[in-house]
Amino acid sequence: MTEKIKQLVDKVKELLEKASSVAEIGDIRVTFLGKSGEYTGLLRGLKDVAPAERGTIGKLINEGKVRLENMIAEKEAYFRKKEEAKKLASEKIDVTLSKGYLIGSTHPITKVKNEILDTFIGLGFAVKEGPEIETDYYNFQTLGIPADHPARDMQDTFYISENILLRTHTSPMQSRTMLSEKPPIRIVVPGKVYRADDDATHSPIFNQIEGLCVEEGISLAHLKNMLEIFAKSTFTKDTKVRFRPSYFPFTEPSVEVDISCSMCGGKGCRLCKGTGWIEVLGAGIVNPVVLENCGIDSKKYSGFAFGFGIDRIAMLKYGIPDIRLMYENDVNFLKQYK
């Protein structure tokens, strides 16, 4: 038995000398000192040793086991340290190495929105914001669109409950403002709006800017003049504006506003579908009923209102063919607008 103990200890010594990693040392431990390891087998063999020698042999086996454990632990610690040093060296970060900064850019919608707001601020308009989660009352009823009104079909609405919805346009801020402020009123309201729409030119979430001006003696001519200034400063100074009769329950008369095509200058191209004009917004003279509903004397005051899609303006300005590109957050797309 003494000879066997010596043989196994020598064998482990030899294997440890050849080993080169923590994993190999682990294998050696399992092979000799594991539950069914070779050295552990010596202890199991004790039962076959004559009772008189059992104490002495048992002591020798235990001493050998302690020696093996120490040898293995020492070698393991050596390789663990070596491997950690190697790992640290490979993961070292050179903080002095400059890779440059990755600077973000303004989203095209934000860029266009800021430019348009600047134009209207220059014309004396104040910027206001309103809630995106709106009541049926402000989104429809105060604007002359009762529950059974066919105009509700013009906007596919996301309802949260029977009377709460995601606003379908920024127009509720018209009545909210007129109910809380007295004329003269000149505001622009940028913000997100929501409709159950989804194709290359319609997004379920998009951005509008509402404009409202209520003063004495306001007419369609004032509206046209403001929108001409907006079109020329947003596109080019040659941009023309035209009004077409339309219908909105909260304006009377109502107009759809087209601008001359920014791509072909009005000659007719693919973008304007050969017409030379592109529709950008809805507008009109504030319906006197809406003024009265908000406590404003419609005999003394009149106003104009307009609402356009910022996304569509950005598409026209930058030649973006699909509105969805602006909502995908693809860095390669966004980088172009630096």
Binding segment (CB under 6 A) for ligand FA5, from list 74-82, 83-91, 132-140, 196-204: 196-204
Residue from 64, 130, 282, 303 that binds ligand FA5 (CB under 6 A)? 282
Question: Among residues 139, 208, 262, 302, which is the contact residue for ligand FA5, using CB under 6 A?
Answer: 208
Nearest to 322 by CA among 231, 223, 203: 203
Q: State the pairing for strand pair 241-248/302-309.
A: unpaired
- Any idea which residue has 């004559």 for tokens? 50
Instruction: Select from 2-10, 145-153, 288-296, 309-317 the region that touches ligand FA5 (CB under 6 A).
Output: 309-317
Q: What's 183's DSSP letter?
A: S
Its sign, for the CA torsion 243, 244, 250, 251, is positive
Q: What angle do CA 215, 217, 223 make, to 5 degrees?
A: 80
Least separation in angstroms between residue 255's CB and ligand FA5 is 8
Write out the DSSP string of 89-155.
HHT---TT-----------HHHHHHHHHHHHHHHTTPEE----SEEEHHHHTGGGT--TT-GGGGGS
Tell me if 302 contacts ligand FA5 by CB under 6 A. no
311 near ligand FA5, rule: CB under 6 A: yes
- The 8-class DSSP code of residue 323 comes to G
Q: Of the listed pieces 36-44, 71-79, 133-141, 304-312, which binds ligand FA5 according to CB under 6 A? A: 304-312
Q: By rule CB under 6 A, what count of residues binds ligand FA5?
A: 27
Region binding ligand FA5 by CB under 6 A among candidate stretches 12-20, 28-36, 54-62, 300-308: 300-308
Residues at the interface with ligand FA5 (CB under 6 A): 154-155, 169, 171, 195, 197, 202-203, 206, 208, 210, 248, 251, 279-284, 305-309, 311-312, 323
